[in-house]
Amino acid sequence: MNSSFNKFLTFKTMLTALLIIVFSINFLLIERVDALSDSKQLVLDAWSLVNEGFYDPEKFDEINWKRIRQKTLQKQIETSEEAYFAIEDMLRPLEDPYTRILRPKDYELLKSSNFGSEINGVGLQLGEDNDSNKVKVVSTLGGSPAEEAGIVSGDFIDKVDGISSEVLGLANTASKLRGESGTKVLVEISSESGEIKEIDLERRSVDLRPVRTKRLRDDSHTIGYLRITQFSESVPKKVEEALQELKEKEVEGLILDLRNNSGGLVSSGIAVADSLLSEKPIVETKNRNGIKDAITSQKDTSFDGPMVTLVNKGTASASEILAGSLQDNGRSILMGNQTYGKGLIQSLKSLGENSGVAITVASYLTPKGNNIQGQGIMPDKLLDLPDASEYGSADDKWVRNAELFLDSFLEKEEVSIQTPEISNQEMISLQ
């Protein structure tokens, strides 16, 4: 009995000692994690933000998202740069190039392009090709080094300073193209036809000039021309001012030019649609819970005359929302080429160390329920015409086609208005 009791006491003592050791080890591990919190906290914060906001939570189960976090935190992460690389590795299984880490320089530049009027770089707006997963040129900014070098929408970025874009990925390719004014970057480009060329580009400050307008006059009608190059925060107000100015010049129709507008702030694109539509659906958004929220325009409009909207394969994201809403509601005919096909919405979140993370939080559908992602929007009238050297210039055949269409429409409208008046006069004379 005593022997059994003594064995029990020995076992109890050993168990207690073991528990003390386990708790001590856990305490030490907690202390070690705290010691690395400056760098690992970036990883934890990024994981949490994506976990809370990513639009497709089913993907988490498919890739074992929690296990990825655990494995990532087991890595040696002692600096901010190591944290950024770890976050990139962590996000890669999501297979969404738009959900990405933004290092301080990239985060600041993205904010500048969304809220400012100029940006330093070569003027390329990039996306990922749906078929090849290559980094593809969505559009070039007007007056930028890229545009002057002849780079066009649809070209592929193969290398930047000798490093393959497949190795860099979309975010890092875009990052390497940005930089201080006066510095140079060597870019290897391949066209859709397979032609390869190297171009030495000098970075500089590019004036975004998001809203440009003028009046087009001929012998019979006055048409307004409004070009939006991207949707930054200031655009809705600038568009309102531009439309008011055109109305004061008594324009009868409007050409809205969205060519090579790769998007920007979705809220700005929706606000512009609101100024052109009266109590009509603008877009439906589908979030991670599968809820479709329809956004409807207000009653008052800034311009209610006939419209033509010009689009091409560089028309993407927020500009596709605007174009799709105008087409589906019969508010404007679309002319040009099939648009790019980016139907995903990103939210920009701040991290420590002045960095950030862009997260795809929703997808969007046009008012008629058309999914734009990977498909784009087909215009009502296709234009097989070369691009003008300067959009909206006298040699811009796209604008001339739109102008002729509006002239024809206005003439038909005048006939339809005059016909009842003639009939009434005839009736009076008969009396």
CA atoms of 27 and 31, how far apart (whole Å): 6
- Asked about 342 being catalytic, the answer comes back as yes
Q: Which of 155, 158, 328, 396 is catalytic?
A: 328
CA triple 127-132-137, angle to 5 deg: 30
DSSP bridge partners of 160: 163, 187
Q: Which of 39, 113, 144, 317 is catalytic?
A: 317
Q: Which of 136, 238, 280, 342 is catalytic?
A: 342
Q: Residue written as tokens 């996000």?
A: 91
**Residue numbers annotated as active site:** 317, 328, 342
